[in-house]
Amino acid sequence: MMEWTDRHCRVFHRLLTKRARLYTEMVTTGALIHGDVARHLDFSVEEYPVALQLGGSEPADLAHCARLAEQWGYDEVNLNCGCPSERVQRGAFGACLMAEPALVADGVKAMRDAVTIPVTVKHRIGIDRGESYDFVRDFVGALADAGCEVFIVHARNAWLKGLSPKENREIPPLRYEMVYRLKRDFPALTLVLNGGVTTDEQITEHLCHVDGVMLGREAYHRPWWLAGWDERHFGEAPSGLSRDDVEAAMVAYMNRLVAQGEPWSRASRHMLGLWNGTPGARHRRQVWSDHRLKGESPAAVSSASRGERVDRLETQAAS
């Protein structure tokens, strides 16, 4: 979810669900140690509960970045051992770390020794074409011995050569039973399933076998789906929010960005799917993504997206 689940996206998603835990895009230890910490770690109080996902492999670096996560107020620090991209592999982290459980265990222990917030791990069920359950069982076992109690498991292998990241989300077969078996073998651990989930019915079925379900791109492209999660999966009362209410809240948030000197388009791009499946959705997407309107106020663009007459916008769009 690199460049997708940034802080603006998370504010938008929090408007839709108050209970689901939100995760940052993966931030590398190098970016935090050598780069602009505030740019990578700043977030809004509306996002809670929120977890920082780290990419890295050196225990000392991971411990340092976990301390930063705690200092900035994150609820959890999550180590990515599932990303298969070649760029990530060149940095010696992501899915290739599954081949080095002792190193990952050292990293987990270093982070746990450094912070009081939970340290969790996201990983695949295997790497390349190996289909041995023993491989992922031993990986989880080694990290559990180091103190990790929460595992987010993408139920596909990561093929480290020959597939793009997109193909790695589609071609290796889903094997949910592997994740279910991990939960049976490690009943005291929290096991969260990820991969290929597209309906509430599937979420409900998986929750019969594991402790949680993580959603990524499907939730991003169908954001209104999130609006029913608190009621359906957490037993909350209906929120009563409409899509108009959510857009109005985002307009207020974008006004805050403008007041801080930040372009509102950095936030609006994440809500282009809000109206998917409704009449006029295409027009709304076109208006919100029209670069010619980026000098207008968010409220004016919102009015134009609803088809209301705004002379200045119409004149500008026609020029």
Length of the chain: 319
Contact between 305 and 290 under an 8 Å Cβ cutoff? The reply is: no
Other CB atoms within a 10 A radius of the CB of residue 315 amount to 9
Place of tokens 């180091």: 146
The active-site residue, picked from 83, 96, 148, 208, is 83
3-state secondary structure of 147: coil
Cα separation, 143 vs 189, whole angstroms: 11
- Nearest CA-CA partner of 120 in 20, 190, 47, 209: 190
DSSP state of 209: T
Distances (CA, A) of 250 to 14, 15, 40, 273: 11, 8, 21, 13
Is 81 an annotated catalytic residue?
no
Active site residues: 83
